[in-house]
């Protein structure tokens, strides 16, 4: 039996088939939901996963305004930004972030779970987050993602 006939197939970016998935975030815990989203964006749910190629699929997330945290994270968790200037550090509680920009909660959580490279930025462009149940991607025929 020839051992060379069992080579591992490496995916190429031209050969990758991408699907569109839709996820309803209503009542979901932020961290658990975002790890699943990051897995789909990277392509780790596919048998053809290759670390140096973007094999991931497109993800549409709806109802992010009805997302939840466990424990008292709404009051304890802080999102910190820094402009680079003295006194330019801002802290925003998770409850305030939900009122003003609920999309940022999911986008920032997924961003932290993806690679910090060109490849990671390309993966992030395949994430579409919406506050309500409506989205403009009906033409792509997204299918619900099974967890």
Can you tell me the mean pLDDT for 133-141?
A: 95
Q: How many CB atoms lie within 10 A of CB 9?
A: 9
Q: Which residues pair with 20 in a beta bridge?
A: 58
Domain boundaries, the chain: 17-69+102-144
Residue 45 is predicted with a pLDDT of: 94
Taking each helix axis as running N to C, give the angle between helix 30-42 and helix 102-113, from 0 to 180 degrees, rounded to the nearest 10: 50
pLDDT exceeds cutoff 60 at 140 = yes
**pLDDT one-digit tens code per residue, 16-75:** 999 999 999 999 999 999 999 999 999 999 999 999 999 999 999 999 999 999 999 999
H helical segments located in the chain:
30-42, 73-76, 94-100, 102-113, 118-124
Looking at the chain, the whole-number percentage of residues with pLDDT higher than 70 is: 97
- Residue with structure tokens 């990671």? 120
17-69+102-144 falls under which CATH superfamily?
Answer: Ribosomal protein L13 (3.90.1180.10)
For residue 3, name the pLDDT band (cuts at 50, 70, 90): low
Provide the 8-state DSSP code for 108: H
pLDDT exceeds cutoff 80 at 4 = no
- Residue with structure tokens 């299918």? 143
Residue 8 is predicted with a pLDDT of: 82
Calpha distance 106→54 (Å, rounded): 21
- Parallel, antiparallel, or unpaired: how do β-strands 58-62 and 20-24 relate? parallel
Calpha distance 106→83 (Å, rounded): 22
Query: Rounded mean pLDDT of the chain?
Result: 94
pLDDT exceeds cutoff 70 at 89 = yes
């Amino acid at each position: 039996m020839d051992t060379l006939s069992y080579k591992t197939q490496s995916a190429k970016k031209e050969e990758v088939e991408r699907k569109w998935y839709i996820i309803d975030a209503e009542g979901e815990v932020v961290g658990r939901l975002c790890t699943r989203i990051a897995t789909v964006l990277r392509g780790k749910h596919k048998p053809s996963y290759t670390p140096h190629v973007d094999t991931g699929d497109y993800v549409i997330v709806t109802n992010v305004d009805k997302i939840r945290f466990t424990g008292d994270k709404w009051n304890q968790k802080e999102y910190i930004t820094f402009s680079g200037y003295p006194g330019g550090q801002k802290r925003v509680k998770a409850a305030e972030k939900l009122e003003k920009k609920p999309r940022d909660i999911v986008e920032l959580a997924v961003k932290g779970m993806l690679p910090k490279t060109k490849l990671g930025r390309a993966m992030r462009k395949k994430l579409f987050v919406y506050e309500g149940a409506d989205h403009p991607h009906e033409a792509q025929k997204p299918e619900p993602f099974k967890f």
